[in-house]
Amino acid sequence: MALTETAYAKINLALHVRRRREDGYHELETLFAFVDGGDRLTARETALDEVRVCGEFAPELDGGIGNIVARALGVLPRAEGLAITLEKNLPVAAGLGGGSADAGAIFRLVERTHGLPDDWQTRAASLGADVPACVLSAPCIGRGTGTELETVASDLAGAPVLLVNPRVPMPTGPVFAAWDGVDRGPLPEGPVSRIAREGRNDLEAPAIALCPAIGEVLDALRETAGFLVRMSGSGASCFALYAEAGQRDDAHAAIRAARPDWWIMKGKLR
C-alpha cells in the first residue's frame, strides 16, 4: 500500500541574523511558517531503500545524490526499505526549504510506518539546519543555527499566500557571506502576525545585490494587495500574504500575465 506525504514549502516570515560564529555558521532568529503545498512524496515498502525523482525541477537535482531524501532514509534505519518517488515541484536553491522539506517529509513517512527514534531531532539537524523545523512543518521560532525550536500558535494560519521565484538559483553560502555583519536586533515579541510585520529578513539586501531579479520580484509583489511582502530565507523566492483569497488570486493572475517566465505558486499558511 502506497503512502503519500507533502513536503510543505517553508517560508521565513522573519529572519534576523545576529552574529557570525567561529565555527563558520551564523547565529540567527527566525520565524518559520509553512505553505499547504510543495513537493509530493510517495512511499512503498520494499527490500532496499530507493529513490526516484520526477517533476518539473527533477533535472536540477544531482542524480548522484547527495540527494537529501536518500540521506534522510540513511539516518533512519529500519528493518524494511522504502521506495520513494519524489515529485519535485519546488524550485531548487530557492529559499523554500525544498530539500529540507523533502527530508522532513521522509521523517513523517517513517514516523507513520515505523515510528521515530527519541533522538530524531539530532538526526534531522545532521542533514541541515532547517530540517527539524521542516519535520514539524508547523509555525515555530528557530534560534541558534535554526535548530533550537519553539512551536508557536499562529494567528496567521489560513492566510492566503503567493510564492514567486525568478527561476534563478540562489545558493545559501554566498548570501550569508555577503551579510554586512551588523546585528540589527532580535525578533519582536508577541503574536506571529506582529513578529512577521515588525520583523525583517537581514539577508534580503545581500541577496538582491547578488541577484537583482529578487528586487524585481519584490517590486511586483508590492504592487499587489499583500499586507506583507518579503524574501524567504536566503532567496531567491519571495512571498506576499493577503487578507483575502481573491486578492491573492488577482495577484497571481497579474504576475503570471506580466512575467510568464517566473515560477509562481499560490496557497495558504498551515
**CATH number of the domain encompassing residue 7:** 3.30.230.10
The tens digit of pLDDT for each residue in 98-107 reads 999 999 999 9
Q: End-to-end CA distance of the chain, in Å?
A: 27
Whether residue 233 is found in the same domain as residue 133 = no
Whether residue 125 is found in the same domain as residue 208 = no
Set 39, 102, 130, 202: catalytic member: 130
Section 19-33 average pLDDT: 95
Section 117-137 average pLDDT: 97
In 3D space, the residue among 164, 228, 231, 161 whose CA is nearest the CA of residue 198 turns out to be 228
The three-state secondary structure class of 38 is: strand
The answer on pLDDT for 183 being more than 90 is: yes
For this structure, is 10 an active site residue?
Answer: yes
Number of domains into which the chain is organized: 2
Residue 134 has, within 13 A of its CA and on its CB side, a CA count of 35
Residue type for 82, please?
A: L
% of the chain with per-residue pLDDT over 70: 98
Whether residue 108 is found in the same domain as residue 17 = yes
Q: Which residues pair with 32 in a beta bridge?
A: 12, 140
Whether residue 17 is found in the same domain as residue 51 = yes
Whether residue 55 is found in the same domain as residue 144 = yes
Choose the final residue of a domain: 121, 151, 181.
Answer: 151
Section 37-60 average pLDDT: 95
Whether residue 214 is found in the same domain as residue 128 = no
For this structure, is 130 an active site residue?
Answer: yes
Whether residue 90 is found in the same domain as residue 164 = no
**CATH number of the domain encompassing residue 183:** 3.30.70.890
| Range of the structural domain that residue 58 is part of | 3-151
231-258 in b/e form (b: 16+ CB < 10 A) is bbbbbbbbbbbbeeeebbeebbeebeee
The answer on pLDDT for 124 being more than 50 is: yes
Whether residue 132 is found in the same domain as residue 178 = no
Set 10, 49, 88, 202: catalytic member: 10
| Per-residue confidence band for 110, with pLDDT thresholds at 50, 70 and 90 | very high
Contacts of 63 (CB under 8 A, 6+ apart): 53
Residues 73, 84 contacting (CB under 8 angstroms): yes
Section 140-149 average pLDDT: 97
Q: CA-CA distance, 59 to 69, in Å (whole number)?
A: 15
| Per-residue confidence band for 66, with pLDDT thresholds at 50, 70 and 90 | low
Residues 230, 197 contacting (CB under 8 angstroms): no
The answer on pLDDT for 64 being more than 50 is: no
Whether residue 58 is found in the same domain as residue 147 = yes
Whether residue 188 is found in the same domain as residue 245 = yes
Q: CA-CA distance, 79 to 190, in Å (whole number)?
A: 45
Choose the final residue of a domain: 151, 173, 196.
Answer: 151
Helix axes 245-258, 213-222, angle to 10 degrees: 140
Choose the final residue of a domain: 94, 127, 151.
Answer: 151
Residues 37, 5 contacting (CB under 8 angstroms): no
Contacts of 97 (CB under 8 A, 6+ apart): 9, 10, 104, 130, 133, 134, 233
Whether residue 139 is found in the same domain as residue 217 = no
